[in-house]
Chain A
Amino acid sequence: MNKIILENDEVVAQLDESVVYELSYSDLLGVNLLKIEVFNDTSMDLVYNFGSDVKLEVQIHVNSGVHLNLYEKVVGDKAKVRTKYYLLDDSDVVVSKFDDVRVVNEYVVIMLLGMRAKIKYNLKTVALDVLNYDILTYHNASDTVSNIINNGVCIKDGRIKFNVSSFVPSGSKNCDVSQSNKIVNLTDNECVIKPNLYIDEFDVSASHSAWIGSVNEDSLFYLMSRGIDRDSATRLLVKGFLTGSLDIDDDKKDDIIRRIDDYWR
């Protein structure tokens, strides 16, 4: 298992020969750049711990034919992150991402550069304050597949904005584009989802969905009918919503569940 832990400006890495990284400090705009290249099939954990107001750009380059199973965890107070994924021919990337940061401005760019490149991007986030996500997927080659799943839960002063755009230019044939965006809002604050599809090619399969609401009342009824009080039932549903579809092991799920439990204490 490869692991890169980034604590503000410090990097701790445990990597085998399939992954290399390089961290360059502050360009003119004060943004640190973490560049990661993946050569062989592998799994990797990428953990960001932002104690202070750090600006970071992460570039992840996945070579041809490589399968990458990536778990990203972002924790801390304030995060301004630009993450760019570059996928070459026949590469296949599964991103399972959990954000637990008070204030987030995250800009994600997914570049499907090679034929048959495929990504499943699965973001789970808990909002205590303002979270803004811009997620852009470019299908720049034919037969590319993107499955973008964004799930967020708003509690306390939380507000979430998902601005999700998928682009298929003319000439990128037989692409499969899918977006699913869902926010469970347990506050009276405003949440926004903008699911955009910009398709300039006829031969494309595309779908998008957006849903904002409270926890499902029928699910609550089912749990409560077994004697679980409303608050505990809501918490169970939130935990299920944030961990259910993630491709991660039980230890990581338990870690997420512990963090969610902390908010109910």
Chain B
Amino acid sequence: MHVLRIVDLCVSVDDKLILDKFNLEIKSGEIHAIMGPNGTGKSTLSKVIMGDSNYKVLSGKIFFDDKEINGLSVDERARLGIFLGMQMPLEIEGVSNSDFLRTALHNRNDDFKLYDFIKKINKTVEQLKMDKSMIHRGVNQGFSGGERKKNEILQMYMLEPNTIILDEIDSGLDVDSLRIVGENVMKYYCDNKPAILLITHYQRLLDYIKPHYVHIMKNGSLVKSGDASLVSLIEKYGYDEKLLNEGTSIIKEKRENE
């Protein structure tokens, strides 16, 4: 059982406050979805959890299994088992997917076995309906938006994380690719029971990946939390005040209790 806990996190970029006393706890076996208007800090949250130095943590703490990880480097966090599927995966010239993943697995595990690696990557590429030649092409080089997202899921399968953050993994995907990505994330979840944090704008991804908790984020903090039924209210009201006043809110209740 792993637990990612974020406590009163305040983060700024270029002196602008992006995350404002953000709190969240995610455990193995739980799927959380964060939704919210553009520019509210959702992607910032994912990058900060991963340790991106472009963001300044002003106060607050991030714990992984009760160990504070604020001081850990990006690679150290990744080796704990935290994985970030990025919204816009970068193109890296000249570094092939297989070299990249082999290096990553070597860095994690001295007991790396090439035969097992080849067997697994071939199987996963097939499962994701990717072109086999992509294994030997530069990371995301010449990939379409959909291929890049599938490549993120391929990396997830190969690295076997225990805590997964997927930042708008559905953007740029056609209907078939969305289904493949969604089903494969769910398959990984069923097989491994990781903690998953989904950041998304659309209900369509949640047709495939069923969240246990849905949170609404506004102005850098969670303003309402509920179960999957909250998604249909978002569809109905958008993110305006009506929605925030509708039904119960875990966050509201918590604040009221405080």
Are A240 and B78 touching (Cβ within 8 A)? no
Query: In this assembly, does A198 line the interface, its C-beta being within 8 Å of a C-beta of chain B?
Result: no
The residue of chain A having its C-beta at the shortest distance from the C-beta of B47 within the complex is A221
- In the complex the two chains form, what is the Cα distance from A242 to B92 in whole Å? 12
A221-B52, A232-B103 are contacts. A226–B78 as well, Cβ < 8 Å? yes
The residue of chain B having its C-beta at the shortest distance from the C-beta of A244 within the complex is B94
- In the complex the two chains form, what is the Cα distance from A240 to B107 in whole Å? 18
Within 8 A of A (CB), among B70-123: 73-75, 78-79, 83-84, 86, 89-90, 92-95, 99-101, 103-104, 107-108
Task: Mark contacts of B33-68 with chain A using CB atoms, 8 A cut-off: 1 yes-contact digit, 0 otherwise.
Answer: 000000000000000001011100000000000000
Query: In this assembly, does B221 line the interface, its C-beta being within 8 Å of a C-beta of chain A?
Result: no
Number of interface residues of B (CB under 8 A): 29
The residue of chain A having its C-beta at the shortest distance from the C-beta of B85 within the complex is A225
Query: In this assembly, does A227 line the interface, its C-beta being within 8 Å of a C-beta of chain B?
Result: yes
Are A219 and B155 touching (Cβ within 8 A)? no
Are A227 and B78 touching (Cβ within 8 A)? yes
Kindly list chain A residues whose C-beta atoms are within 8 Å of the C-beta of B53.
217, 221
Kindly list chain B residues whose C-beta atoms are within 8 Å of the C-beta of A240.
92-95, 138
Q: Which among B78, B83, B93 is the interface contact of A245 at CB below 8 angstroms?
A: B93
Query: In this assembly, does A229 line the interface, its C-beta being within 8 Å of a C-beta of chain B?
Result: yes
Whole-angstrom distance between the Cβ of A96 and the nearest chain B Cβ = 13
Query: In this assembly, does B134 line the interface, its C-beta being within 8 Å of a C-beta of chain A?
Result: no
- In the complex the two chains form, what is the Cα distance from A241 to B94 in whole Å? 6
Q: Other than the known A217-B53, A227-B79, A244-B138, what 14 A-B pairs have Cβ atoms closer than 8 Å?
A: A221-B52, A222-B89, A225-B75, A226-B100, A227-B75, A227-B104, A229-B73, A229-B75, A229-B107, A236-B99, A236-B103, A240-B92, A240-B94, A242-B94
